[in-house]
Chains A and B, each alone.
Chain A
Amino acid sequence: MTVLMEIKDLKVHYPIRSGFWNRITDYVYAADGISFTIEAGKTYGLVGESGSGKSTIGKAIVGLEKITSGQILFNGEDVSKPSVRRKMKYNKDVQMIFQDSLSSLNPKKTIYQIIAEPIRNFDKMDKESEKQRVIQLLDIVGLSKNAMFQYPHQFSGGQRQRIGIARAIATNPKLIIADEPVSALDLSIQAQVLNFMKRIQKELGISFLFISHDLGVVRHMTKNIAIMHLGRFVELGTREDIYNNPQHIYTKRLLSAIPQIDIANRDANKAKRAQVEAEYQEKRSHFYDQDGLAYPMHQISDTHWVSTPPTNISEGAGK
């Protein structure tokens, strides 16, 4: 497998200004020492509660967020500087799908103008082939070519998100960051859009970084999952590692929070949730340092990494 992207010790800190002179008095550690690798053609899931910094990582990778320190290597080249990104047409290869499909499409532009924007900027095409490309993209996402002349507000939420996908894949990117792409959609539409993204990912061989707060959705989408809490990774592994053998108390807590339709064992499930919560409260000081932040991760198997206190490896293997 070829490594497409390597993220090394990525930090994004926002200054907090206060006091009489508006000096910087503290920082928000939105992403604090994140490292991971993305291989070509694979899908990754990034899970965390809101405010955990997962969107910040996505935006930093795609170049929308200024990074404080660390490196983002794309095909071995450091792309953390805007000038480098511009020169190598970085965003031709790395694209993004946004959470709010309405806000991500300019209300005053036609669908044609929206989808053609990255093509015009990155692939110099003549008018006719540009038009053919847009029609082709609309066809890929299952919309008729008449959609070209309509405006975003004339479409439903699911259709708009598919237009967003068409724009993201317009320049044949190698990596797409999908930032909560379905959380603004109705449950019934979610599955439709998810399946659709999965199909595109397979057919076009694009790497996906799938950012979500919903473990159920991520499980459906990817084999490789990272769990994030308060700006740091707490656990990283395959689907099996995370779902069947969670090591970190936060991961366990997240897993127990997935709603289950299992009426027969309702009370048992409830008791289990209470137990997980009790464990979380009890071991909190053990798994987090005195600032309440997670420790660096250690490898516990070929694929499985977990954040543990520096001295002793946790014995907290559940079940």
Chain B
Amino acid sequence: MSEKNETQVQQSVQGKVPEIKDGAVIVETPSTWRTIKREFLKDKVALVSAIILAVVFVTVIIWAFFIPRSAVTNVNIIDQYLTPGTQGHLLGTDEQGRDQVKMLIASARNSLMIAFMISIIGQFFGVIVGLITGYFRGIVDTIIMRVIDFWIVLPFLMIIIVLVSIVPKYNEWTLIWIIGLFAWQGTTRLIRSKVLSEADRDYVRASKTSGSSNFMIMFREILPNLASLIIVDTTLNFAGNIGIETTLSFLGFGLPNGTPSLGTMVSAATDPTVLATKPYVWVPPVIFIIVICVGISFVGQVFRRAADARQRLG
């Protein structure tokens, strides 16, 4: 198989002939990345978003390593609601007297990781189910699509809240799987419609007559052609899943106690006095959420345009 050689990525430039070793194989068409780069350069807002996101993600993930667990669990009522700048607390302290900056970083890490895991689960099942139903069609496809039509209409927020409150032994993984239960249907629809059109192209027929099994055709022939679509969808869903997790945590049905989330931080504002008189408690996480979610959707739109342009070039 070629996988072993795929590490050796070569650019094939006409005129300059690359050295051939053991049937080395190029894995990426350079034009896709070039298109994305060009789109970013054209769209300054998205470029700025991408830079900010990169900085924020790296900062959060590295910094979170240096925050001891005690910083987010210890309660110190005396230091409650310190205003920003006092006693070395840059953003002040919350109701339990915890440093807001540390809380923000730890919460952001948790919220981002949870949303990331949900996106992975959603994409994994969405892509596999979409590939299978779109490729084989027939009665199974009809049934699965009907189920999804039904599932998508359900009031998922309420059902998630019910599940969260009745599941015994609740922890962040239960939350991930419960949200994941509602995170794959859109992807399935999207992937399926693309697979329907891909499966009707002659390269799939050629693969059949070349003796490749259905499994190989689905995952080795069709899947690479879905790559740009999957990237776009993952990005946009990632933003959506951050929204769902923080919303649930805000309502009190998200991450369990002891695992801080951006949503839990914002939920301090459900107390009208905090909302009205102590904005420094809840505004920082709110701004953080806005920056992340809007930034991701800007970047996602660039990916989408790049993917479309590629399709137009055909």
Chain A interfacial positions (CB closer than 8 Å to B): 59, 62-64, 89, 91-92, 94-96, 98-100, 102-110, 112-113, 116-118, 121-122, 127-128, 130-131, 134, 145-146, 148-151, 153-154, 164, 167
Check if B202 sits within 8 Å of A100, measured CB to CB. yes
Contacts known (A149-B24, A151-B29); A99 close to B202, Cβ less than 8 A: yes
**What are 9 A-B pairs at a CB distance below 8 A?**
A91-B210, A103-B203, A105-B206, A107-B225, A108-B29, A109-B221, A109-B224, A149-B25, A151-B26
Check if B212 sits within 8 Å of A117, measured CB to CB. yes
Interface status of B211 (Cβ within 8 A of chain A): yes
- B 7-46 binary contact with A (CB < 8 Å = 1; else 0): 0001010100110101111100100000000000000000
The 7 closest A-B pairs by CB, nearest first: A121-B211, A104-B202, A118-B210, A108-B224, A106-B203, A98-B202, A131-B23
What CA separation (Å) do A83 and B22 show in the bound complex? 35
Interface status of B87 (Cβ within 8 A of chain A): no
Check if A103 sits within 8 Å of B202, measured CB to CB. yes
Extra contacts, 11 of them, besides A63-B209, A104-B206 (Cβ < 8 A), are: A59-B205, A94-B209, A96-B206, A98-B206, A106-B224, A107-B203, A108-B227, A118-B209, A149-B20, A153-B313, A164-B206
Check if A64 sits within 8 Å of B208, measured CB to CB. yes
What CA separation (Å) do A103 and B201 show in the bound complex? 6
What CA separation (Å) do A151 and B28 show in the bound complex? 10
B201: A residues at CB distance < 8 A: 103-104
Check if B209 sits within 8 Å of A96, measured CB to CB. yes
- B 196-230 binary contact with A (CB < 8 Å = 1; else 0): 00000111011111111000000001001101000
**B203 and chain A: residue at smallest CB distance:** A106
B210: A residues at CB distance < 8 A: 91, 117-118, 121-122, 167
Check if A104 sits within 8 Å of B203, measured CB to CB. yes
A149: B residues at CB distance < 8 A: 10, 12, 18, 20, 24-26
Chain B interfacial positions (CB closer than 8 Å to A): 2, 10, 12, 14, 17-18, 20, 22-26, 29, 201-203, 205-212, 221, 224-225, 227, 313-314
Give which listed residue, A91, A103, A154, contacts B211 with CB less than 8 A: A91
Taking the closest CB of chain B, its distance from the CB of A153, in whole angstroms, is: 8
Taking the closest CB of chain A, its distance from the CB of B166, in whole angstroms, is: 40
Check if A112 sits within 8 Å of B29, measured CB to CB. no
Check if B209 sits within 8 Å of A106, measured CB to CB. no
What CA separation (Å) do A145 and B23 show in the bound complex? 11
Check if A117 sits within 8 Å of B207, measured CB to CB. yes
A112: B residues at CB distance < 8 A: 23, 25
**B30 and chain A: residue at smallest CB distance:** A151
A104: B residues at CB distance < 8 A: 201-203, 205-206
B207: A residues at CB distance < 8 A: 106, 117
Check if B225 sits within 8 Å of A150, measured CB to CB. no
A146: B residues at CB distance < 8 A: 12, 17-18
Max chain B Cβ within 10 angstroms of own Cβ: one of A89, A110, A127: A110
A145: B residues at CB distance < 8 A: 20
B12: A residues at CB distance < 8 A: 146, 149-151, 154
Max chain A Cβ within 10 angstroms of own Cβ: one of B10, B14, B23, B24: B23
Check if A62 sits within 8 Å of B203, measured CB to CB. no
B20: A residues at CB distance < 8 A: 131, 145, 148-149
What CA separation (Å) do A112 and B22 show in the bound complex? 12
**B31 and chain A: residue at smallest CB distance:** A153
Taking the closest CB of chain B, its distance from the CB of A255, in whole angstroms, is: 30
Taking the closest CB of chain A, its distance from the CB of B48, in whole angstroms, is: 31
What CA separation (Å) do A153 and B12 show in the bound complex? 13
Taking the closest CB of chain A, its distance from the CB of B259, in whole angstroms, is: 41
What CA separation (Å) do A150 and B30 show in the bound complex? 11
